Structure 1
Amino acid sequence: MNLSSFALVFTSVTLSALAQTAFKHGVMRVPLADITGILAKVLGLLMSPFVLLGLTLYGFGAVLWLFALRQLDLSLAYPFVAMSFVMIVLSGIFVFNEPVNPSRLAGIVLIVAGLVVMARGG
């Protein structure tokens, strides 16, 4: 995997992870208990600025992903989506003050090790 291909994949995955973080912010701020009816709840979520930001980030990430797929084998590119797991755990820890435990840290280490092996062999 060359540097430009990695940059496309990394940027796409980063935008997706940022989108998830924006989604979490958005849904935490919508008072769903005060809204009656499923359609009203869905519209309430969709009107959240952070949810809209998340959808926008996903859109840009998807476009970059298309360019990455032009350059890489799918079987090499797709496993790098696992970088989002690492980014999301870090987002949970640093943005939302979620707990850290040894099993989460071990999982992150295993994911990163697997990605390094794939990148060197690809």
Structure 2
Amino acid sequence: MSYVFIAMTILLTVYGQITLKWQVGLNPGATIDGLNPRAIITLLLNPWVISAFAAAFGASLCWMAAISRMPLSKAYPFTALSFPLVAVLTVLLFRESFDSHKIAGTALIILGVIVLSRSGA
């Protein structure tokens, strides 16, 4: 069951990141560097952004459930899987680049998770 909670943590985290990227992209004035208070408030009241924050909260609850059932040193490396998932989804959804450096880095992350998941704990 702990792996289900880890998977939910990852999926909710990825959902939140993709949703925030999508909504911030639709509201370019709502960034900290632009500091347009009206745009930021509008963004914070956006139902999609609220759902991303709720997903982050849900991910935290799932994470607490996961680490209560499994050693942190064994569970934590799996959270790195959010990086490759976000990278692939941003290529598909936002047409971001995925060059050889990103491919190599993603492969290293996945390899690292595989190696760490095989360690005893």
TM-score range, shorter chain: 0.7 to 0.9
Q: Deviations over 1:47-89 (max 9, x none)?
A: 1222112111111111111100101111222222111101110
Q: CA RMSD in A?
A: 1.9
The Cα shift of 1:31 comes to 5.1
The Cα shift of 1:110 comes to 0.7
The Cα shift of 1:29 comes to 1.7
1:54 matches 2:65? no
Give the alignment of 1:7-86 within 5 angstroms: 7-30=4-27, 32=29, 38-86=36-84
1:104 matches 2:102? yes
Q: Is the 8 A contact 1:27 1:48 kept in 2?
A: no
Moved over 3 A (4+): 36-39
The Cα shift of 1:41 comes to 3.3
The residue type equivalent to 1:77 in the other structure is: A
Aligned equivalents of 2:93, 2:35: Cα separation in 1? 31
The Cα shift of 1:119 comes to 1.1
Which of 3, 9, 12 is 1:6 aligned to? 3
Q: Please, what TM-score do these two structures have when normalized by structure 2? A: 0.86
The residue type equivalent to 1:13 in the other structure is: I
The Cα shift of 1:28 comes to 1.4
Higher helix share: 1
Aligned equivalents of 1:37, 1:16: Cα separation in 2? 25
Deviates more, 1:38-47 or 1:93-102: 38-47
Counterpart of 1:92? Answer: 90
Q: Is the 8 A contact 2:29 2:40 kept in 1?
A: no
Structure 1 unpaired stretches of 5+? none
Aligned length: 117
Calculate percent identity across the aligned residue pairs: 27
Aligned equivalents of 2:35, 2:115: Cα separation in 1? 49
